[in-house]
Structure 1
């Protein structure tokens, strides 16, 4: 973290007269900021939203609009999927290795009621589902499997259930359909917001409590007093090249960040300025999915040693993480004529290499060590013919011997294909969004939520689509209530 520009902390006795005053200042108006502002306002606090862009929505509005929620939501019930907080917690605890297990347990316990709250705010969720493998949908269907619930060993730990709840929008930017009602609620309830306003510094009082902010606007500097607290909901550090280089050096020149220009780590750096600890700063989800079409999952992925390295039915972000870590970041998708198809995600830029009549010719054509791919294919085909994968435990539904030549390979190497990524690291927080130092002591008056805070999943290997918007909106609500001085209550 030594190369990161950390803002100066200002002392309140140096400010003089405050230009504006509120109880709770919310920095950022994405999903976490909106939910924090609404709850703080409804708890009786005077709230001010400060947003760098010219309007609200943030990166949430340009996301695919998936909220990871479960435990028996109304959508799950309507479509006949059994789920419980216990099953959801068992899955998330085993797959995510969360920094704060108690906070994750509370998220799972409250997940169904939080979904209902989101619907009450006007977010549109259909009682429909799409259970095929997909990255995003060009339909308004809602319920999806968006993680590794069906993957070994997690399917042995908890009963799989679809928990990705997509708002009724279409395409990669369906998130705007979910953000519009939240922004409208903020406006209708009279929560003031100032735009084109960049928070540059935090202000502390003589007791060390964060009590305000310095804001840079086009026509000058203003200081805002926040009597009860400041909530950092300013997004990730995807766009900060220095923070990426310092923390995730394996991301290369062909990797592209997903986000908006203000996702430059400003919230993280503000938190660091007053001693907040960070977590999972090396966490990243890189995605360049091999599916759809789903039939390609029946192929195998091999590295430059001709060895398999990840179960091919993994969530695309998990696969991307493993590809990133392979020798020379090289990897190929191997298929036979039975399942041949071109990967359909256009942004991935996976290239067709060639076709070969035999495995031996393919091995030589890919420049793999002599005998390596032949051995891998022989072992895989023998086990697949028996409906098993004792090496990586790929689910039986995706197993088939690759024995129908000719064969083909697609180059999915990390340094060649285009892997889009989001960062998972951020400020260390408690269940109510309170910023914590390295010893888990709260930083008085400071909160963080959304992508400014560290995600529950600390690695892309355990991430699921929706684990940004789902927990971000939930913990944003909790931060808003706590900052306003109210206790958290379910619903």
Structure 2
């Protein structure tokens, strides 16, 4: 086996990681005739992408949007993301928005399925069936006044709650068909450079034996985020180590970020992290109000769940409560998953105030002010969308605990290596590191704050900029366009390993 590996370690593009970023990059590079080698720490491909819900955030007028009668345009998409995502390099965001429609076409051409069905209710991720739904803060004030809102959550047609497995099954099948070379159980140790300090490959260890792979055109880091790295998480979110749950596979440990930093790479928004303990579904709970330990509202309750969580973390002692009355009372459908606790029920607001240990009359005033304006169909404090406004006038009242030390907030990282719009890694000197690219969760991409995150941005960012990196490395141009796939993705027999990675066992040509 060692001899066999040694004979195949020269390539044009070397990709480290075989999730959605690595797979899309490999397909793009192969479309240009490049010899591609992928190194993956797991036994097979898939990574965190295969564990995901399979939502891809795209817009600007994709075919799916048009087929369902949803109006959207590139400028609206750009204005919204520019206002919410905290991306310092506008060229990165511009390229993503400009290429979003073509990227959706490319995904469908690879065989990724999207059902022509629209879901309009408030949900983290709808049950299998709908292909398009709202995932972010498009309707949240002030963003709905900055840009026309649109449904942009493109949901792969696959298993409920895990359509990412279908996404990766299709893309990995295409990689096999396209002739992408792959080595599993390969832990990359460090990057290699020549005398001119250009990155030319990587050293890796497999089954206790060290090897060295070389790349003529570039190395792409597609190694995922750092949510499994306790030291990196503890730097800004130490409380999550005890009361949070990281989202991802075991290898989302920041290794790619640290390898690049060893040779002078810069990082951006490295403290950015998205967490969630969504109060919805059911959507009716959005009509409740969320207050801190002082009895004050601090966020529009119709915000995307990650935005709400980010504001909870900003509150005194990270304490927060969801307040509902008898008309809208319901248990969150994910109560057991997030370990929500119903604190109690009370006949009056004054009793609830005492029960929660809130200063006398503060919660009463908050609710009185809210009720006054809700009766008029408006929320001058936070601009909550009128559909979710209702006065609290149907006691008894109840409170759920949203505090960071009570609820299991599930989280993943957002920040990472600083990159330009061609996915080239930027050094601390401000110049690109020759031969080195990064995309997906190891790079700071199209969203760098949880307050502007939306479901699907991680898969969208990785799949799109993986292609950008591959195209730039192999052709010198980072512009990706539609590339018609030849035929249909083969029906590949897969074996799902213990670490949730896909290992191909053969191709069914029938």
TM-score (norm 1): 0.95
Give the CA deviation at 1:280: 1.0
Whole-Å separation in 2 of the counterparts to 1:457 and 1:261? 23
**1:76, 1:251 → 2: CA distance?**
37
Alignment partner of 1:258 is 2:269: no
**Structure 1: 5+ residue stretches without partners:** 1-16
Structure 2 residue matching 1:262: 3-state secondary structure: coil
Q: 1:279: which partner in 2?
A: 268
Rounded to whole Å, the distance in 1 between the matches of 2:86 and 2:244 is 26
Residue-by-residue CA offset, 1:92-137 (whole Å, 9 max, x unaligned): 1111121211121111111011100000001001111111110122
Q: Which residue of 43, 46, 57 maps to 1:57?
A: 46
Counterpart of 1:107 in 2: which secondary structure? helix
Residue aligned with 2:372, SS: helix
- SS of 1:193's equivalent in the other structure is strand
* 1:460 partnered with 2:450: yes
Q: 2:115 aligns with which of 126, 131, 139?
A: 126
On the 8 A contact 1:19/1:222 being kept in 2, the answer is no
Q: Alpha-carbon deviations, 1:235-282, whole Å to 9, x = none?
A: 110100011112433535111100000111111111111111111111
Which residue number corresponds to residue 416 of structure 2?
426
Q: Distance in 2 between matches of 1:438 and 1:250?
A: 30
The residue number in structure 2 matching 1:9 is: none
For 1:88, what is the secondary structure of its paired residue? helix
The corresponding residue for 1:436 is 426
Q: Look up the SS of the partner of 2:136 in the other structure.
A: coil
- Which residue, 196, 200, 208 being the options, matches 1:211? 200
Partner residue, 1:69? 58
CA contact (8 A) 1:313 1:394 kept: yes
What is the alpha-carbon distance in structure 2 between the residues aligned to residue 23 and residue 397 of structure 1?
A: 54
Shift of the alpha carbon at 1:486? 4.2
- Within 5 Å, give how 1:371-450 maps onto structure 2: 371-450=361-440
Shift of 1:446: 0.3
1:489, 1:304 → 2: CA distance?
49
Partner of 1:356: 346
Q: How many residues align?
A: 475
Deviation of 1:425 after TM superposition, in Å, equals: 0.9
Alignment of 1:490 with 2:481, yes or no, is yes
- After superposition, the Cα gap between the structure-2 partners of 1:196 and 1:114, relative to the gap in structure 1 and judged at 3 Å, is same
User: Which of 338, 346, 369 is residue 359 of structure 2 equivalent to?
Assistant: 369
| Cα pair 1:247 1:281 within 8 Å, conserved | no
Say which is worse superposed, 292-301 or 171-180, in terms of deviation: 171-180
After TM superposition, give the deviation of residue 397 of structure 1 in Å: 0.8
Q: For 1:248 and 1:425, how far apart are their aligned partners in 2?
A: 14
Deviations, residues 343-400 of structure 1 (Å, cap 9, x unaligned): 1113111111111111000000010011110110111111111111111111111100
Structure 2 distance, partners of 1:171, 1:415, is 29
Normalization by structure 2: what TM-score? 0.91
Deviations 1:19-44 (A, max 9, x none): 72111100001011011111112212
Answer yes or no: is the 8 Å Cα contact 1:288–1:419 preserved in 2.
yes
SS of the residue corresponding to residue 77 of structure 2 reads helix
Q: Which moved more, 1:430-439 or 1:157-166?
A: 430-439
Q: 1:139 aligns with which of 123, 128, 133?
A: 128
Unaligned runs of 5+ in 2: 1-5, 483-510
CA contact (8 A) 1:19 1:223 kept: no
173, 194, 197: which one aligns with 1:184: 173
**Given that residues 471 and 480 in structure 2 are in contact (C-alpha distance below 8 angstroms), is that contact kept between their aligned partners in structure 1?**
no
**2:118 is paired with a residue of what secondary structure?**
coil
Q: Distance in 1 between matches of 2:244 and 2:465?
A: 29
Contact 2:228 2:250 in 1 (8 A): yes
Partner of residue 322 from structure 1, selected from 311, 320, 326: 311
SS across alignment from 1:484: helix
**Aligned partners of 2:311, 2:363: CA distance in 1, in Å?**
19
- Partner of 2:293, secondary structure, is coil
Decide which of 212, 215, 222 is 1:223's aligned counterpart. 212
Shift of 1:485: 2.8
1:32 to 6, 17, 21: 21
3-state DSSP of counterpart to 1:91: helix
User: d(CA) in 2 for partners of 1:42 and 1:298?
Assistant: 50
C-alpha separation in 2, matches of 1:210 and 1:247:
31
